[in-house]
Amino acid sequence: MRNGWARIADSGATSGAYLELVNRDTVAVSVIGISTEVATAAEVHETMQHDGMVHMMPRTALVIPAGGTVSMAPGGLHVMLVGLRHGLSAGDSVPLRIHFSDSTQIRVVVPVHTP
């Protein structure tokens, strides 16, 4: 995990978390789910522009190619934190458990700050 951070947000609201996931293995792997204690749900979303409107679409299986990197950044892929159990202020940290298709999982902690 590189360059992780999450947006400042109020309790009960939604926030976005961003990070880069690096796959050093020789086979592709998919992100199949994300969990966190700070929100009722954490979903992988993709931001898309269509007819001048901005939409977010859930991505249920996000493939990270062998030896590849997937970047989650504002305006693109992101982790949507839905239903924050408490507010996120600058200096807080957000733990994320990322579940992969090969049954492995990693736990990362990203800092909260302004974009």
**What does the binding site for Cu ion look like in residue numbers (CB under 5 A)?**
45, 56, 80
Q: Which is nearer to Cu ion, 32 or 80 (CB)?
A: 80
Residue 82 CB, shortest distance to Cu ion, in Å, is 8
User: Considering the complex, what minimum distance in angstroms separates the CB of residue 36 from Cu ion?
Assistant: 14
Count CA atoms closer than 13 A to 30's CA, side-chain side.
9
Q: Judged by CB, which is closer to Cu ion: 56, or 66?
A: 56
Q: How far is the CB of 26 from Cu ion (least distance, A)?
A: 31
Q: In this structure, what DSSP letter does residue 105 have?
A: E
DSSP 12: T
Distance of CA 62 to the CA centre of its chain: 11
Give whichever of 28 and 33 is closer to Cu ion, judged by the CB atom. Answer: 33
* The two structure tokens encoding residue 27: 């086979």
